[in-house]
Amino acid sequence: MKVVVFGMGLIGGSVAKDLKIRNFATEIIGVGRTDATNQKVLDLKLVDRILPRDEAIEIADLIVLTVPVNALIDELLFVLDSIKSHQVVTDMGSTKGAIVDAVQNHKNRSRYVASHPMAGTENSGPTAAINNLFDHKVCIICDKEKSDSDAVELVEKMYEALKMNLKYMDAHQHDIHAAYVSHISHISSFVLAATVLEKEKDESAILEMAGGGFESTVRLAKSSPEMWTPIFIQNKTNILEVLDTYIEKMYSFRNYINKGKYDELNQFMKDANQIKKILK
């Protein structure tokens, strides 16, 4: 099985590592954006070789796109234009609606399987690639009925090699759920980091106080702007909806503190505590 991975960052690099070591891929071919990245990928031995994208597609059994979601549509269209009927392509983008819409009428649409492995760290780039990144995490496959069954099976097998738990969803539903749970978490964390950096000028105080919950809450603010800017813009409608609820609730919280409304503040937090019933 020859696997071609487009994008050689945290996700692409980690996919390459595990698919090779777990014998899913006999050969891993990388397609990176720049010569510098490609050289680093070779130095790190993340792939067997680097090829230009057209040569890589030519020999691939499975093509995995791990580029940021703004570049994804163009890359996917290029791949779909080039592949033959036995080849399969999947992507790992964090948004799905715009991508499936962009290829819905393509003659090779059925060779594409839309997917989103919910895994990552706050680090980015090829040096951030690690083994076992995907193990026991959730992967969402979208609109599987629009893909050929052999294509879905191959992609499922790949995710099984990555030890992921597979779930199935409509692509646009995926984007709503992603906005309401994951994307709003990233935004609250980016805003937290920006706020603390502006208000707390004493870096040693940040370090001393970090154990009081800041460190874990701000972790996502270390995430890559190159990855997240296009996600926020592509999933704008769903994100604005949840963001406005967040801002409204933040105002209530502020008001309760400002007016010394002990009972309302206490009740707000008791309601928030209900998250314990879902996440043990």
Q: How many residues bind a second copy (CB under 8 A)?
A: 91
> Does 6 participate in binding a second copy (rule CB under 8 A)?
no
Question: Could you tell me the smallest distance in angstroms from the CB atom of residue 30 to a second copy?
Answer: 25
Q: What are the structure tokens assigned to 15, written together? A: 């996919």
Handedness of CA 56, 62, 66, 68 (dihedral sign): positive
> Does 10 participate in binding a second copy (rule CB under 8 A)?
no
> Does 225 participate in binding a second copy (rule CB under 8 A)?
yes
Nearer to a second copy, 12 or 230 (CB): 230
Nearer to a second copy, 149 or 229 (CB): 229
Contact 187, 239 (CB under 8 A): yes
Nearer to a second copy, 13 or 230 (CB): 230
Contact stretch for a second copy (CB under 8 A) within 2-10, 61-69, 82-90, 203-211? 203-211
Distance CA 120, CA 135 (A): 11
List 104, 132, 149, 245, residue binding a second copy (CB under 8 A): 245
> Does 178 participate in binding a second copy (rule CB under 8 A)?
yes
> Does 150 participate in binding a second copy (rule CB under 8 A)?
no
Nearer to a second copy, 84 or 249 (CB): 249
Residue 27: Cβ within 10 Å count? 15
Contact 76, 99 (CB under 8 A): yes
Distance CA 22, CA 208 (A): 42
Contact 65, 8 (CB under 8 A): no
> Does 239 participate in binding a second copy (rule CB under 8 A)?
yes
List 52, 86, 107, 270, residue binding a second copy (CB under 8 A): 270
Nearer to a second copy, 52 or 212 (CB): 212
Which residue from 146, 143, 191, 190 is spatially nearest to 169, judged by alpha carbons?
Answer: 143
Nearer to a second copy, 145 or 271 (CB): 271
Question: Could you tell me the smallest distance in angstroms from the CB atom of residue 122 to a second copy?
Answer: 8
Which residue from 52, 102, 94 is spatially nearest to 77, judged by alpha carbons?
Answer: 102
**Residue type, position 275, single letter:** I
> Does 223 participate in binding a second copy (rule CB under 8 A)?
yes
With 0-12 CB in 10 A as exposed, 13-18 as middle and 19+ as buried, what is 230? buried
Distance CA 205, CA 274 (A): 32
Nearer to a second copy, 70 or 82 (CB): 70
Question: Could you tell me the smallest distance in angstroms from the CB atom of residue 66 to a second copy?
Answer: 16
